[in-house]
Structure 1
Amino acid sequence: MLKPSYLLPLLLLAPQRVAAETPAEWSKPYPAHRIAENVCYVGTAELGCYLITGSQGHILINTGLADSPPLIMASLRTLKIPPKDIRVLLTNQAHFDHVGGFAEMQKLTGAKVWATAADAPLLRDGGVSDPGGLSRFKAVKVDRVLKDGEVITLGDLSLTVIATPGHTPGSVSYLMTVQGHGQKKTLLFVNLPTVVMPLNNAKYPSIVKDLETSFVRLKALRPDFWVAAHASQCGLAEKHAAGNYEDPAGYAKAVAECEADFLAKLRVLPPE
């Protein structure tokens, strides 16, 4: 299910070519649907975008590519969600395939952008400072810097920020409580720490330590439900078809596979 090197071929392309050569699934529409009581999927066939609805406004996690906003807006219409009710934009990682639509969605919704301290510079400069050299996206203003462990609140909504760096310097996951099968369950919006840039990266000297820390944190979590920045990483289509997102065993397997890929790459690093 998990493909840890999913982005690697794109990273090897010249930055200006990346956006033009993204897989078709990244821009393919996907039906909007409910994952949990107040969590809906509004992303594409591959790029995970998640709407969390609350009584005093909503939170949107990830906005996909620069061409994703029309698809997200269509999903909002299907769900009968007024765009202006979205108050906060979050992301799992500051890469073009998850924040390329930030500027447009911010314009359409008036929402504030909240990001981790390590990814905020990438959002502000449109990806210029990305240590992996990914293609650029339209820069946005970051209205609030998030801290590891803090609890994001918006009315009756509450999400815990869990720093999971390594994929980008400020990659982050979010944990919340939802109603599932008549009981309170945990749902994790995870950014799996896949390795998409060199581990001996002079522009990101702490990458190995960050990845090691992220795996320790992720292995300590036991979410009942989980979704990911890429739909294929969490088997979203299969879970949607089955009508059931509860999958603690699948989460543990995905993290283990991701860590195994990291350790394999670490073993073949040339000596310093």
Structure 2
Amino acid sequence: MKLCYCDETGTGEEPYAVLLGVVVDATRMHVTKDDWADFLRQLSEIVGQEFHELHTRNFYSGSGIWKNLTGPQRSEVIDFFINWFADRKHHVVFSAIDKAAHKDKLESGELPEEINTVWKAMGFHVALAIQKYFQGEQKNKGNTIFIFDEEVKEETRFQKLILNPPEWSDNYYGKTKKQKRLCQIVDAPYFADSKNVGLLQVADFLAYFVRRYIEIAEGDIPEKYKGEGEKIKGWFSKIKARSIPYQSMYPKKQRSEAADVF
């Protein structure tokens, strides 16, 4: 059995939004959860203030309780955490969306109604990518349960979408005639408060640097300090190395009509 903990970033005024899922094996997740809790305790001691949720945006910018940590100190923490995650051998899956392009395609009728919001589009894309990858995995240890950060406006409609996926999505993963739709996904997705679920915070942390990489690489938001682009690129490369194959998320070869949607 696998669990995929998902959180999003960039749903405000940013040009891009990213939803990232951390895929963990149920038998190995407890060590990761304990490590993350220890990580937060150590950071609490460093800043002299107890907290239970790491907001990556504030940490990276050095605002709020992080104002007394220098840029190099925060960079060292990020290095440590991303290296730690890579060593845990978990996987990530992500969906990135140009929000202006999504709006234009929706208004021109190019997007299916089922993914009429950025959040639903990213969530469904991630679910389809997990389906495509794990249906072909040899010695698959079990299907996947999705846990998302709370998203009150989207929860009911998204659960219905996963339980009753539209026919147009079948060719994303090459559904066969006798195969059940999204057969790798267990039940409806669950939603939880990230304050209480450490692995949702891990997903938020990683998602932030995927989004920042895209913003800089596409030239939409310039570097905020000298050398940021190279530093972000290095962090992104380590995250990308732990992703499921790109062919499952953004295929370059034999791309189906459903994959083109994303």
In proportion to residue count, which structure has more helix? 2
More relative contact order in 1 or in 2 (CA 8 Å, sep 6+)?
A: 2
Larger Rg: 2
- TM-score w.r.t. structure 2 length? 0.29
